[in-house]
Structure 1
Amino acid sequence: MKRSLEQRLQDGTVIAGEGYLFELERRGYLQAGSFVPEVALDHPEALKQAYRDYMNAGSDIVLAFTYNAHREKMRIIGKEDLLEPLNRNAIRLAKEVAKEHPIEEALVGGNISNTNLFDPNDLESKEKVREIFAEMVQWCKEEGVDFVNGETFYYYEEALIALEEIKKQGLPAVITFGLMGENILRDGYNVEEACRLLSEKGALVVGMNCFRGPHTMQPYIVDIRKNVDGYVGALPIPYRTSEEHPTFFNLPDGGCSCHLPLETTFPTALDPLYHNRYELAEWAKEANDLGVNYIGLCCGASPAMLRAVAEAVGVETINSKYSPDMEKHFLFGKDKTLKQHNLSYRLKA
């Protein structure tokens, strides 16, 4: 039998693969800027392959790619008529891939996210947000997801509305915050306080995702873990954010020799600013030792990065057989059959 999310959390660390947004933009199937996952309808096989790549890299979850697939975003790009088909197809494709797991069928997560519509001083905006979440979660329920992931919220109250709508459908909820550079949620809550409140109100997992790399997210994860009795999640971006630049929105690239078409490196010129997989693995081990239960990576993460994270917490992934092994490399290997004249050249190469 396929274990539920709660059962897997009880049994150990759950690995959550995200990052489809940037990955599919890199692969050429998604437009940077609007960042709407039309790929679920336009190129379903490309989306299935992305799902598969992250699952094979260690993700216990195939998260339906419906981030930004809400009514407000679809209105902006003039395609509201595709809203429901896109949501349903993204979930159905995720279910198909989840069944491919050779050991235990992967969980399928529904997905709702920040709407960029919420205004704490505007009652009408709150009602619209609730309507947006209600219809998306209903489709999740009808399509048979195992839980719903509500993510990247920078208002506590918007996250609370998401949790309420998920609970109305009787589904487990993972709720994570994206913390902007002010280091506080936009409606004045500290992120650890917001997580504690949502956990007490019934969220199965609470924590943070996106915006921040490991170093600028981890101090808040420490505080969340101290304040929350339930399960805690952490999904940083794989970029080198700093105390001066805590999010990836304004990361500078001092080494760039060309003229960037945008004011910042975000979102299409972040390439030189990656953490390597070994740094991400060190972070994952630290988070796991801290007692973080739901570990993954967010925008910018590749499957190889996620595999390193999974292996760092003791998970042998489907594709661990492809993990680096330099034993037989012609310059750096130690296999006795390698040619000595090549090995002696490695310091000059």
Structure 2
Amino acid sequence: MNLRRDLSEKVLIADGAMGTLLYSYGVDRSFEELNLSHPDDIVAIHRAYIEAGADIIQTNTYSANYIKLSRYGLQDDIKKINQAAVRHAKEAARGTGVYIFGTIGGINGANDARIAAPSLEEIKRSFREQLYCLLLEGVDAILLETYYDLDELKTVLKITRETTDLPIVANVSMHEPGLLQSGQTLASALQELADLGADVVGANCRLGPYHMSKALESVPLLENAYLAAYPNASLPQMDEGKVIYQTETDYFEQYGEIFRQEGVRLIGGCCGTTPDHIRALRRGLKSIKPVTSKVVHPILELAELDAAEDAGVRLTDKVKEQYTVLVELDPPRTFDTAKFFEGAQELDAAGVDAITISDNSLATPRISNMALAAILKQEYDIRPLIHLTTRDHNLIGMHSHIMGFHKLGIQDVLAVTGDPSKVGDFPGASSVFDLRSVELVQLIKKFNDGISYTGKSLKEKARFQVAAAFNPNVLKLDKAVRLIERKVEYGADYIITQPIYDTEKAVQLKEALVEAGITVPVFVGVMPLLSSRNAEFLHNEVPGIRLTDEVRERMREADKSGTGREEGMAIAKEILDAICEHFNGVYIITPFLHYDLSIELTKYVQSKEQVIEISSQN
């Protein structure tokens, strides 16, 4: 058996989906664990594909790595699961001459909120462990499949090539035919993979045979690698809560020959495909002789796009030179918006730089902040800074919202996770979390390149400046600052913090940011207290807010004399003194639409600017 020789001489048929046939065992479970608990079923599926005409079968190890198995508590069984998978494949293939591919799936791009987004170093460690397990069991080749993140695939491909001389198949996945989600063309990506040492390069998953064949029309025959295609059976649909695919396997028959004509040497199936699909692919081949030339229809490169018109002086520019004040006004919980807009106008007249509008804070439904932001901008010429949570919007909804922000001329966005739904008015409501807040930052910034999440051209560049949220009210501030580093790495232009109630916290925050080398502007939060009861509620019940014992005691004593509100403002001004000593950015949260308090604090900050100007003149 010689895989490289066979690929040079003929078109090979690979198997189809494993997970599709294991779906009956449950959605939220590890299909790879079935290598241990249901070995006979795994062997039977392999045999069914071989009987259908597959020259190649792949091990049931797509997610058999530390990062993915840990979500099921199976991280200690990595070796056993991979070992069993290879042995099951060998048992099924014994005496048939069928090749066995050791499969390793991609990690980034899955947007699975059940696991923390891994770093590249974590991915490399996890990958190496699984790779060694497969190699020790003696697979015939390594299959790297379903990689939406080309950088991740290139990284693991390099590791694989440095570790083994076995043939390597490297498959990317696309949302749009012919384009990766970065906007890079499929043709250029596959050439990069070939140059890094992959023997076979191609695409799998997401697209059905029609769109995958269209994507491959843009890919020339490569001099240093062969092409592969593993399409899905069709677009998925939901039936009583289950994901299903069309089962018209005869449709696949024509695509065996279509893929061959596009120069594909390795043809298999991905999600939704069964042995019947593979049998149809084999039946549809008019010849197994590879083509040696083809007509290429290149994907048009993204044209140079015009950027949207900028909405005045950018917050990040102003805050570098002088004190800059953001004020948050909560959207109303009823249709009565009079006080909201009255407050916004008064704040604007007082010189506030932007009105920030939360996205259902504390998981409590309020009037759409997009609607309020649009009215502020279009009717009152007031700059809105709009919050967007990953809790309330799935990836589709977030994409749509961001496009809407752009067309409304809203350019300042705060990307936040959002408070858990169980703290709000509807504790049984679903929380989405398709993306983490750091990934939402990255998504929004892609629009500035004129590229959607899928890599498709948006025909225009946005001009978003994205803020990231940060909670400095933690015990280990230096550890929390690492999250800020990651948000900045993902594209955050500035940081907005939760309110602080300790003057020392401003000093500690400044020192931690300097030590971490973070230079983006920071707007430090302050929220005036109204009473001791208000202080105790914030301290004990609102996530992310902590008051010092001193502040709580001061508010208790003030309440006794009926001066709670005055004391709360005095504390807020002391906090502002500390903030303004170390930061130019101030973020004032207005309690219960008492915008008069925010105006007073804004003027207090502005008076400091005047003192600085007078001092400099003297």
The interval holding the TM-score normalised by the smaller chain is 0.7 to 0.9
Q: 1:236-315 counterparts in 2 under 5 A?
A: 236-239=231-234, 241=235, 248=236, 260-261=240-241, 268-271=242-245, 273-274=246-247, 276-314=248-286
C-alpha distance in 1, partners of 2:49/2:176? 29
Q: Which residue is 1:109 aligned to?
A: 101
Shift of the 16–227 alpha-carbon distance from structure 1 to 2, 3 Å rule, reads same
Summarize the Cα distance change of 1:297–1:182 in structure 2 as closer, same or farther, 3 Å threshold. Answer: closer
Cα shift at 1:72: 1.1
Partner of 1:11: 9
In the alignment, structure 1 residue 230 sits paired with structure 2 residue 208: no
Deviation string 1:24-62 (CA, Å, 9 cap, x unpaired) is: 21xx34x32455321100100100000110011111112
- How far apart are residue 230 of structure 1 and its match? 2.3
Cα distance in structure 2, aligned partners of 1:115 and 1:4: 30
Runs of 4+ in 1 over 4 A off after TM superposition: 226-229
The answer to whether structure 1 residue 173 and structure 2 residue 168 are counterparts is yes
Q: How many residues align?
A: 283
How is 1:90-105 mapped onto 2 (pairs within 5 angstroms)?
90-101=85-96, 105=97
Give the deviation of 1:182 after TM superposition. 8.7
- Change beyond 3 A, Cα 1:19–1:123: closer
Q: Which has the higher contact order (CA 8 A, sep 6+)?
A: 1
Partner of 2:257, secondary structure, is helix
Give the C-alpha shift of residue 185 in structure 1: 2.5
Pair 1:129-2:123 in alignment: yes
Does 2:49 align with 1:54? yes
Q: CA deviation at 1:224?
A: 2.3
What is the letter of the counterpart of residue 73 of structure 1? Answer: K
**TM-score, normalized by length of structure 2?**
0.43
8 A Cα contact 1:62 1:106, kept in partner: yes
Match of 2:130, as an amino acid? Answer: M
User: Are the equivalent residues in 2 in contact too, given 1:58–1:307 (CA < 8 A)?
Assistant: yes
Secondary structure of 2:227's match?
strand
2:103 aligned partner, one-letter code: N
Give the Å deviation of 1:117. Answer: 7.4
Letter in 2 for 1:106: V
Q: For the pair shown, which has the larger CA radius of gyration, 1 or 2?
A: 2
TM-score, structure 1 as length reference? 0.75
Match of 2:135 in 1: 141
- Offset of residue 4 of structure 1: 2.0
What is the SS of the residue equivalent to 2:146? strand
**Deviation per CA, 1:69-91, whole angstroms, max 9, x where unpaired?**
11111111111111110011101
Shift of 1:226: 4.9
Q: Could you list the runs of 5+ residues in structure 1 that have no partner in the other structure?
A: 242-247, 262-267, 317-349
Residues 108-130 of structure 1 show CA distances to partners (whole Å, capped at 9, x for unaligned) of 111101113799xx997111111
Q: Distance in 2 between matches of 1:71 and 1:225?
A: 37
Equivalent residue in structure 2 for 1:207, among 202, 206, 228: 202
**Corresponding residue of 2:179:** 184
3-state DSSP class of the match of 1:9? Answer: helix
Structure 1 residues 132 and 224, CA gap change in structure 2 (3 angstroms): farther
Provide closer, same or farther for how the CA distance between residues 315 and 298 of structure 1 changes in structure 2, counting only shifts above 3 A: farther
Q: Partner of 2:154 in structure 1?
A: 160
Do the aligned residues in 2 keep the contact of 1:175 with 1:207 (CA within 8 Å)? yes
CA distance in 2, matches of 1:85, 1:155: 28
Which of 69, 74, 78 in structure 2 is aligned with 1:79?
74
1:72, 1:289 → 2: CA distance? 39
| Change in CA separation of 1:184 and 1:151 when aligned onto 2, cut-off 3 Å | same
Mapped to 2, the partners of 1:118 and 1:131 lie a distance apart of 18
Shift of 1:270: 2.3
8 Å CA contact 1:193, 1:227 repeated in 2: no
Counterpart Cα distance in 1 of 2:182 and 2:119: 14
Are the structure 2 counterparts of residues 206 and 282 from structure 1 closer, same or farther at C-alpha, using a change threshold of 3 Å? same
> Considering only aligned residues, what root-mean-square deviation do their CA atoms show, in Å?
2.5
Q: Distance in 1 between the 2:84 and 2:220 partners?
A: 36
Q: What residue is the counterpart of 2:536 in the other structure? A: none
2:87 alignment partner, SS class: helix
Partner secondary structure for residue 233 of structure 1: strand
Aligned-residue offset at 1:277: 2.1
How much does 1:227 deviate? 6.0
Task: Look up the equivalent residue of 1:20 and give its one-letter code.
Answer: M
The AA in structure 2 aligned to 1:52 is: R
